[in-house]
Structure 1
Amino acid sequence: MASESSLSPRFFVLEKGVLSSHYDVGLEKAEPVNRADAPRCPQCGDIIGLLTWLPPYRVKLELYGEELGDFIDGVGYELLVSERFVEAFRAEGLTGLEGFHPVDVVRVRRMTKKKREPLTVPSYFVVWPCFGRAAVDLVLNRVRVSSPPTCTECRATGIDATHGFVLEPGTWAGEDIFRPRGMQGKVVVSERFKHFVERHRLTNMRLTPTEEFVRDPSNLGPAPLPTT
């Protein structure tokens, strides 16, 4: 799809590193697992997320790679980040994350049989990307949906395939990491966040420009471009 103007802000989808990578790790929440109600749209009342994880924050990790990284994708809408990530994030004044609660890593199991050096387990914190004001562009996205969104606030809909998306100009409120309206299941970050990750060499983070982000498990292809 055509990229935005070079003068427009650039955004990236944040995901964990690829499978079989140096930092490949699986996560399981350890009992007791307490949950609160899922978030709802303030306008239409529809559910726009998963059940919220409540304390105690306890996890079991399964390490398939060589070492534990600075970022672990949670089971749900939460993320785990290392102490050095938290310190750098706060020091540089980045915005968009909520929580910052310490996590108790009750077990780390190595899933490979090769003999390894002693493992260093970072201190982790659980965070939640905020629900931002930025909204996906309903016209320019190459996104196939099961039905058009009916709520102008959350813009929630079933997404069948994504072949790139852009954010509607003027809707972004400046957060560095957030979940956009119309695509709350994805974590989107600013260009400043991208430079922050690169500068501090934070590990196990994959950043894809939103206009290049593709998820099409059923091979449906991109939605047709709008006609003029």
Structure 2
Amino acid sequence: MASDPPSDPRFFVLEDDIRGPYDTQFEKAEPVHRGDAPQCPQCGEPMGMLSWLPPYRVVLALSGQALGDFVKGPGYDFLLSERMAESFRAEGLSGLQGFHPVEVVSVRRKRKGPRPAAVPPYFAVTACFGRGAVDEAHSRLRRTSPVTCSECRSTGVDAIHGLALEPGTWQGEELFRPRGEQGSLLSSERFAWFVKRHGFTNMKLTPSEQYVWDPGGKGPLAAPRETPT
């Protein structure tokens, strides 16, 4: 029986495994209906993309050798295979909303390879906006403007060279979008163990302090300085 993970909270940035053996993405198939974007309860500014409303119809784009359990697409929505969705709920993990059955209209091959013999059922989910807040002093983010709202802390971000959360702000969700960097999908260490134990596919989990996203090549900020004791 596997031992429990260490008690100190660690976080990972969850992404799809592009160019991996289960590289799968999705596109929304017409008709696509959208609702309002979630808003910050304090400043009223949008905190994410427009919500996806039924019908949930998709075209899968397969680049790997087989379809993955985790499938990203446009916006903040993603898909989970039936086996992953059922395991997530059966083990009492938290942080995901929706679990809407999805109709797979077709599977499109993006690279040479065999077509899948069968397409598993998928469910559309979104991750919650968690209470965990980015620790500005111990993260290395290039922001496009100063943070003005103490609640959502939303601003544009040009580059990330490591993320940390303020101690005591995380409330135990296994998957969530943190205050101050809602564009990143964070997971708990429990979720990382869950993925490894079940062998779920098409996921890359990077320790948050090692995560780099820098599409413009701006480089990292100066390393945070420790406060003298």
SS at match of 2:108: strand
> Amino acid of the residue matched to residue 66 of structure 1?
Q
* Distance of 1:226 and 1:108 partners within structure 2: 46
Does the 8 Å CA contact 1:67/1:119 hold for their aligned counterparts? Answer: no
> Amino acid of the residue matched to residue 132 of structure 2?
A
- The structure 2 residue matched to 1:135, chosen from 133, 136, 148, is 133
The runs of 5 or more residues in structure 2 that have no matched partner are: 1-5
* Distance of 2:216 and 2:115 partners within structure 1: 42
Does the 8 Å CA contact 2:140/2:224 hold for their aligned counterparts? Answer: no
> Amino acid of the residue matched to residue 9 of structure 1?
P
* Distance of 2:168 and 2:50 partners within structure 1: 30
* Distance of 1:133 and 1:225 partners within structure 2: 25
Matches within 5 A, 1:1-228: 8-19=8-19, 21-114=20-113, 116=114, 118-227=116-225, 228=227
* Distance of 1:186 and 1:32 partners within structure 2: 28
Does the 8 Å CA contact 1:143/1:223 hold for their aligned counterparts? Answer: yes
Does the 8 Å CA contact 1:63/1:111 hold for their aligned counterparts? Answer: yes
Residue 3 (structure 2) aligns with: none
With over 3 angstroms needed to count, the CA separation of the structure-2 counterparts of 1:152 and 1:166, relative to structure 1, is same
* Distance of 1:50 and 1:34 partners within structure 2: 13
> Amino acid of the residue matched to residue 128 of structure 1?
T
Aligned-residue offset at 1:83: 0.4
Alignment RMSD: 1.5
With over 3 angstroms needed to count, the CA separation of the structure-2 counterparts of 1:118 and 1:184, relative to structure 1, is closer
* Distance of 1:218 and 1:58 partners within structure 2: 33
The runs of 5 or more residues in structure 1 that have no matched partner are: 1-5
Aligned-residue offset at 1:128: 0.6
Tell me the alpha carbon deviations over residues 127-161 of structure 1, each in whole angstroms, 9 at most, x when there is no partner: 01000000000211111111221000001111111
SS at match of 1:219: coil
With over 3 angstroms needed to count, the CA separation of the structure-2 counterparts of 1:34 and 1:211, relative to structure 1, is same
> Normalising by structure 2, what TM-score?
0.92
Does the 8 Å CA contact 1:67/1:120 hold for their aligned counterparts? Answer: no
Kindly, what percent of the aligned residue pairs are identical?
Answer: 60
Select between 191-200 and 64-73 the one with higher mean Cα deviation. 64-73
Aligned-residue offset at 1:18: 2.0
> Normalising by structure 1, what TM-score?
0.92
> Amino acid of the residue matched to residue 163 of structure 1?
H
SS at match of 2:171: coil
Aligned-residue offset at 1:225: 3.2
Tell me the alpha carbon deviations over residues 178-208 of structure 1, each in whole angstroms, 9 at most, x when there is no partner: 0000010111000000000000000001000
SS at match of 1:225: coil
How many residues align? The count is 221
* Distance of 1:199 and 1:7 partners within structure 2: 18
Aligned-residue offset at 1:118: 5.0
